[in-house]
Homo-oligomer: A and B are copies of this chain.
Amino acid sequence: MVAEFDLIRRYFKTLVDAEGFGLGLQDDCAQIPNQALSGDMVLTVDTLIEGVHFLPDDPPETLARKALRVNLSDLASKGAKPLGCLLALSLPKPQPKDEAWLQAFADGLGQDLKQYKLQLLGGDTTSGPGPLSLSVTVLGLLPSRQALGPAMLRSNGRDGQALCVTGPIGLGFLGLKVLSEDLELPSPLFERAVARYRLPEPRLAEGVLLRESGAVGACMDISDGLLADSRHMADASGLRVEIDLAKVPLASPLLASESLGPLAQISGGDDYELLFSCDESQAERLIERLGRGAIIGRLTKGQGLALLGPNRELLRAPHEGYVHGND
């Protein structure tokens, strides 16, 4: 293992501009000049632990990018524009990562910093007895709350609003299943599912469009599964949520097995599509403008989650969401 100073110098310093907010990673702090703080700041942090949130043999280059993207997905749900990130990387001392691993990790990180116009502000590199773990804090900006009314909080759902998603549900979950349980899927679904599990697509442009529409109530990204996160939105908004199973755009509607079928796909997680509520009269127009996604249900008075069949009959969901290792 190289010491922290060497590691930062060798792999991460090349990712920052010496004149950037990260101060060339030479200091313990980053500094963002006031003129760059135009608008409200949005912040979020997520931790990924090997064996819990990603698989031990996930490639290092996609791992770095996934850690950024799950946070960017939270920014997307507020319609925010990415600004910068901090990375706390804990390396496993018992099975040290070699230089090729670290280089690939840094390359992946650099690729997504560029793609999302995100500055690396700083970080902390440690090593310990635990598995590899990454905590990424991401900062973004959005026009001041005063100017645009309440942000798209998950608690902002209103009675009678339509419930919508920005894209297919279950693809990331299928990727996790085939990778971790050695299951088969037909090509090219197999490759698409694996790619999506390893590299979520944060819906940043969609989040901005939704925010600017002014028609959206609650918005959040789907990480724990469509059922669990719909329930979270309903609970936070003090409402009941109804989902019409037939309207959910499934990653693979024809898979029939219990472990990979429709109910598994809407319970699975790792989607990172946006889930939002909006005025019913505007829902179709919004989906049209997004160019993707679907209206899948509604928020109503009451509480809990109702999963409905084609004749509005109540279906039982086997479980309400995949909870990563019960975290």
Which residues of A are interface residues toward B (Cβ below 8 A)? Answer: 1, 3-5, 23, 26-35, 37-47, 49, 51-53, 74-75, 77-78, 80, 84, 86-88, 90, 93, 121-131, 133, 135, 137, 139, 144-146, 151, 153-155, 220-221, 232, 236, 323-327
Chain B residues whose CB sits within 8 angstroms of the CB of A139 once the complex forms: 43
- Sample of 10 A–B contacts (CB below 8 Å): A5-B232, A26-B153, A31-B41, A31-B78, A37-B37, A43-B122, A45-B122, A47-B135, A49-B90, A128-B130
Write out the residue numbers on chain B whose beta carbons fall within 8 Å of the beta carbon of A153: 23, 26-27
Which residue of the partner chain, among B4, B47, B75, contacts A126 with CB atoms under 8 Å?
B47
Contact across chains for A40 and B46 when beta carbons are under 8 A apart = no
Query: Which listed residue (B31, B75, B130) contacts A129, Cβ 8 A?
Result: B130
Give A274 Cβ to nearest chain B Cβ, in Å: 11
Whether A42 pairs with B26 at a CB distance below 8 angstroms is: no
Tell me which of A45, A78, A123, A133 has the highest count of chain B C-beta atoms within 10 A of its own C-beta: A45
Each complex incorporates copies of this chain amounting to 2
Shortest beta-carbon distance, A126 to chain B, in Å? 4
Task: Report the Cα distance A124→B145, complex, angstroms.
Answer: 24
Contact B51 A129 (CB under 8 A): yes
Q: How many Å lie between the Cα of A51 and that of B90 in the bound state? A: 13
On chain B, the residues within 8 Å of A75 by CB distance are: 29
**A28-B221, A32-B43, A40-B34 as given contacts; A325 in contact with B236, CB under 8 Å:** no
User: B27, B35, B44, B325: which contacts A128 (Cβ < 8 A)?
Assistant: B325
Residues of B within 8 A of A326 (CB): 1, 3, 93, 127
- Cβ of A232: which chain B residues have Cβ within 8 Å of it? 5
User: Contact: B51 with A128, CB < 8 Å?
Assistant: yes
Identify A42's interface contact among B31, B88, B131, B155, CB under 8 A: B31
> A131 contacts which chain B residues (CB < 8 A)?
128-130
CB-CB under 8 A from A323, the residues of chain B are 3-4
On chain B, the residues within 8 Å of A42 by CB distance are 29-31
Q: Give Cα A23 to B75, complex, Å.
A: 15
* Complex contacts, A52 vs chain B, CB 8 Å: 126-129
When chains A and B are docked, how far (Å) is the Cα of A75 from the Cα of B122?
13
